Amino acid sequence: MIKEYLLNEKKMTEIVAKMTEKKVTKYEDIKQEFEYWISNKAYKSDHPLVINGYTASDIYALAPFMDGLGVFTFMVTLRDEPNKAKEYIESGFKRK
C-alpha cells in the first residue's frame, strides 16, 4: 500500500520510493498509522501512537505544510533522534 502511494500519488521514481518506504516502514506501529492515513486521509484520533509526547496529529498541527508522508517520516526521526527532532520542533520546523 505504501509503495503504491509513493509511486502513484507522490510520483516518486522506483528507487526513491523504495528508499522512502524503507524509512517510513522501519517501525511497525508507525507503518500501520501511515497506512491508516493513506486509507483515510486523516490522522488516527482513537488511541493514536505517541512518540516522545507527540502524535502524528500534533506534528501536523505544528507543521501544517507537511503532508502525511512528511509527518510519518518525522515520527521516525522523533523515535530515532529525539534531540534532533526536538530542535526542529523548537525552531518551528525552520528549513535552511
The string of pLDDT tens digits covering residues 18-53 is: 999 999 999 999 999 999 999 999 999 999 999 999
Under the banding of pLDDT at 50, 70 and 90, the label for residue 60 is: very high
Give the domain extent around 68: 2-90
Structural domains counted in the chain: 1
pLDDT at 17 > cutoff 70: yes
68 found inside a domain: yes
79 three-state secondary structure: helix
Q: What is the greatest pairwise CA distance in the chain?
A: 35
pLDDT at 93 > cutoff 90: no
**How far is residue 75 from each of residues 13, 20, 96, measured CA to CA in Å?**
23, 13, 20
86 found inside a domain: yes
| Cα–Cα distance for residue pair 5/16, rounded to 1 Å | 12
| Cα–Cα distance for residue pair 72/56, rounded to 1 Å | 7
